[in-house]
Amino acid sequence: MQSKLCIYSKGGIHTETTIKQLRKERKLSQDDLARAVGTTRQTITSIECGKYIASLPLAMKIARFFGKPVEEVFLYDETL
Amino acid sequence: MNEYRISIRRRRILLRILFWFTLAMNIVIGELFVRNILPDQRTFTELANNFSRIVYFGFLIYLGFAIHNCTKLLQNEAILKEKYIASRDERSLFIREKVNRIAFDVFFAVLFCATFIASLINMAVFHTLVAVLAFVVILKAVLQVYMERKY
């Protein structure tokens, strides 16, 4: 069972990501991940810190890069 | 990536055309004024004259830098790739959209206030600002309709 490292909560939308943990397991830097999925390091940092929610295409790219389903990398919960 | 390279090449061509056109226009208009073919009836204050010079030469310098940047990008594959990724980065686009939206809202509010104040002081300025205000409102409405149909 993976622990959820990052939490984003705004306007009743609650998301969590496991990117940081997955990245650490594979000994990858944010820059390595950013290059692999075609984005910038700043974007990866913001997603990991929960400041920014990735778009569906980017979320799919990240999930595919780690070989996991999107639901395992990005956990979404709407608590209205 | 290749499309991006082509777009940079196109941008450089357009910038070069704009640079030479701006330079040529200044020389041609200047010559027309000097030879009195086109009488210069403008009444410039010293401040307006200096401001127009700063805008003109500032624009030329900006174009020069932009052309230089495009050339540098086309010569260096690593920088080109970096710029390509940065140009498609969704967070940057999101930030830019947000900044533009806030800037437009503030600009519109300031323009509205300026129009009101101008109506109390100078009618020529007031009419100019009303025209700008009307243009901005129409442009926004047209873009809203266009975007709603597009997406």
Shortest CA gap A57–chain B (Å): 10
| Per-residue pLDDT tens digits for A46-55 | 999 888 889 9
Calculate what percentage of chain A has a pLDDT beyond 70: 78
CA closest to A38 among chain B residues: B85
Please give the DSSP secondary-structure letter assigned to residue B73: H
Averaged over B81-90, what is the pLDDT? 88
Under the banding of pLDDT at 50, 70 and 90, the label for residue A67 is very high
* Global confidence as pTM: 0.71
Residues of B in contact with A46 (CB under 8 A): 91
The per-residue pLDDT for A24 is 93
Q: Do B91 and A52 touch (CB under 8 A)?
A: yes
Q: Over 70: is that where the pLDDT of A17 sits?
A: yes
- DSSP states of A8-65 as a string? EEETTEEEEE-HHHHHHHTT--HHHHHHHHTS-HHHHHHHHHTSSPPPHHHHHHHHHH
The per-residue pLDDT for B52 is 87
Residue keyed to tokens 């956990």: A75
Q: Over 50: is that where the pLDDT of A2 sits?
A: no
Residues of A in contact with B83 (CB under 8 A): none
| Per-residue pLDDT tens digits for A29-48 | 999 999 999 999 999 999 99
The per-residue pLDDT for A1 is 42
CB B132 within 8 A of CB B111: yes
**ipTM score for this prediction:** 0.75
Give the Cα separation of B22 and B12 in Å (integer): 15
CA closest to B1 among chain A residues: A38
Q: Over 70: is that where the pLDDT of B57 sits?
A: yes
Q: Do A43 and B91 touch (CB under 8 A)?
A: yes
Give the Cα separation of A51 and A76 in Å (integer): 15
Under the banding of pLDDT at 50, 70 and 90, the label for residue A78 is low
| Per-residue pLDDT tens digits for B141-151 | 999 999 999 98
Residues of A in contact with B85 (CB under 8 A): 34-35, 38-40
How many Cα atoms sit within 13 Å of A45 on the Cβ side?
Answer: 5
Q: Over 80: is that where the pLDDT of B120 sits?
A: yes
Residues of A in contact with B86 (CB under 8 A): 40
Shortest CA gap A54–chain B (Å): 8
State the average pLDDT for chain B.
91
CB B85 within 8 A of CB A38: yes
